Amino acid sequence: MSRIAVCPGSFDPVTLGHLDIITRASSLFDQVIVLVSVNMMKSNYSFSLEERKNMVRSVTTALPNIVVDSYDGLLADYVKQVGAIAIVKGLRAVSDFEYEFQMALANKKLYDGAETVFLTTAAENMYLSSSVVKQIANFGGDISHFVPELILEDIKKRLVKEK
Ligand code: PNS
């Protein structure tokens, strides 16, 4: 039986930190579904669900066991629907923990058939987040060390337009 994991997130936009977690998850499971989802606490996404999905897809083509999908419903419902055994999240710092712990418990309550698995982020990505990338780009800073090169220009175009 194939062991499927779901790696959910906003990916607004996908960063090298996300890509590192996705890559490492891909070596632990038979298939990893990167699920571009909606976080109700984030109402002002810079990229649409479809755009975020396309960006993640374009930077993961080298990984054979990655599937990219989007979903605007409950994560637990999706996980159950696809028969995944794990939800994979990256943890950067202690500050991430409380929120992630709360989500893991809520998801377990909603669907008992999958475990949340936390991967510790690589040390060089500790500070990295989509919002840090957006702030730097908005002020005209260099984001080339933070996002995959393939989508660098698309990100810059959008975020400069936002100013
Ligand atoms: O990258 P983010 O914004 O931290 O990811 C959070 C996300 C999108 C994974 C989370 O908000 C989520 O799971 N959204 C789907 C809706 C849902 O199931 N919400 C309840 C989670 S307990």
- Is 47 among the domain residues? yes
Helix (H) or strand (E) run with residue 133 in it: helix 130-138
Helix (H) or strand (E) run with residue 5 in it: strand 4-9
This prediction has a pTM of 0.96
The DSSP 8-state label assigned to residue 80 in this structure reads H
108 noted as active-site residue? no
- Is 85 among the domain residues? yes
pLDDT in the model for residue 94: 85
Q: Is the CB of 133 under 6 A from ligand 1?
A: no
Q: How confident is the model at residue 11 (pLDDT cuts 50, 70, 90)?
A: very high
pLDDT digits (tens, 9 = 90+) for 129-138: 999 999 999 9
pLDDT digits (tens, 9 = 90+) for 42-90: 989 999 999 999 999 999 999 999 999 999 999 999 999 999 999 999 9
- Is 93 among the domain residues? yes
- Is 26 among the domain residues? yes
pLDDT digits (tens, 9 = 90+) for 86-99: 999 999 988 889 99
| Rounded Cα gap, residues 100 and 94, in angstroms | 10
Residue 102: CB atoms within 10 Å: 10
- Is 140 among the domain residues? yes
| Rounded Cα gap, residues 26 and 39, in angstroms | 23
Both structure tokens of 140: 């005209």
The Å distance, Cα 154 to ligand 1 centre, comes to: 24
Q: How confident is the model at residue 162 (pLDDT cuts 50, 70, 90)?
A: low
pLDDT in the model for residue 160: 75
Q: Is the CB of 6 under 6 A from ligand 1?
A: no
The DSSP line for 117-161 is: EEEEPPGGGTT--HHHHHHHHHTT---TTTS-HHHHHHHHHHHHH
| SS3 (DSSP) at 151 | helix
- Is 103 among the domain residues? yes
- Is 162 among the domain residues? no
Choice among 42, 48, 131, 157 that is catalytic: 42
145 noted as active-site residue? no
Total domains in the fold of the chain: 1
Q: Is the pLDDT of residue 14 over 60?
A: yes
Q: Which domain holds residue 84?
A: 4-157
Atom number in ligand 1 closest to CA 74: 18
The DSSP 8-state label assigned to residue 142 in this structure reads -
- Is 163 among the domain residues? no
Q: Is the pLDDT of residue 161 over 80?
A: no
Whose Cα sits closest to atom 4 in ligand 1? 9
CATH number, position 64: 3.40.50.620
